[in-house]
Structure 1
Amino acid sequence: MKWLFNKNEKNYPDYWLQYNAHFSEPKLTDINSSTYVVLDTETTGFNYDKDRILCIGAVKIIDGYIDISTAFEIYIKQDYFNEKTVEIHGLIKNERIQTVSEEEAVVLFLDYIEDAILVAHHAFYDLTMINKAMERLELPELKNQVLDTMFIYKATRPNTTGLESKKKYTLDELAEHYDIDLSDRHNASGDALITAIAFIRSVHFLVKNKNYTLKDLFNCK
């Protein structure tokens, strides 16, 4: 009867179970038929354990087009505040914006992303911050596949000197290269849109000039 006391069994909330159900069967996808959720977070700082997410912005790419009509933006109530980051993200403690709890934000975010491929610039940071929020709610980490526009853009660049593999491109550099408007830079929804445009243009180049497949995108490092 030991199975009755299996400590690995958890009673996860319904919203997690509904999210998890999207991964019950593998899907046959390619670059064009896949749904992507391009996201960005604004945070109180850069410490994964101490700092918190202030805002999550995201936009979907469906059939190769950015679906602005379903754009996602949510602000999270804060118990911790870091004045040093205000000059970056422009959010202040008492700004009159509608906020939700961290758990409410996770519920809405999971419902939005489903099993889409997640895309972000320097994705490790954004996804780690989100997974830390999941951890605080005693949930597993996100299950979605992830693409990083920094690595995808790097694959479009010539590596004639051998130094290209070590360079870390900023989102501003991608925007400059693709002539993308930066007026909404450093807010989550604006950065998500900039990232989405850069992603589409980088992927278009790789498909057209290097015959990239979805598998090749995941192999960009």
Structure 2
Amino acid sequence: MNIALIGASGFIGSALLAEALARGHRVTGLVRQPERLTAHPHLTAMQCDVYDTADLAFLLAGYDAVLVSLRGRGKHDNGQHYLTGFRSIVQAAREAHVKRLLVVGGGGSLQVAPGLELLDAPGFPEEHRGPAEGPREALKLLRGETVLDWTMLCPGAIIEPGKRTGRFRLGTDRLLVDERGESRISVQDFALAMIDELERPAHPRQRFTVGY
């Protein structure tokens, strides 16, 4: 496939890029600093400002799918910076008539009990609350979307460097935990699950999650 990847140089975005290229897809990496991307025969690096909606719409036209790995401003972001960028991406995707939009979500919006999301559960780290708000609001925005064919994949509570094992579980709205009660996934396996979804769509207009 010919895909565009917003945020291809980030922690999760770089794993998505590696997985997509390894499977033979052609990728246009849309990033603030194209020089940060390592050259590859199937990679085109382009500078992108997600807050410039009109320019972004021009850049997104003509791809089989667009992947979005958007970051906020770390612990100093209350979610609004992220959400402003995400709204611009969604509007640009509409204007570009994007065929499919696949989005990296956040584990904070997953349920740990009926009606209780991880972000609102007792003990959720205060320093992560702001950054987790943006992806949660992005999910609400997508659930009201009537034009785009979207999918959001959320990691567990912890996403970290590790191995590409291919041994994980998929879920929908409930936080997945292992036999030790831990919720985690390697960024490599997260990328594997996302590119699986790209190649074999199974969650149209849905959020799903991946974990061990």
TM-score by length of 1: 0.31
Greater Cα radius of gyration, structure 1 or 2: 1
TM-score by length of 2: 0.32
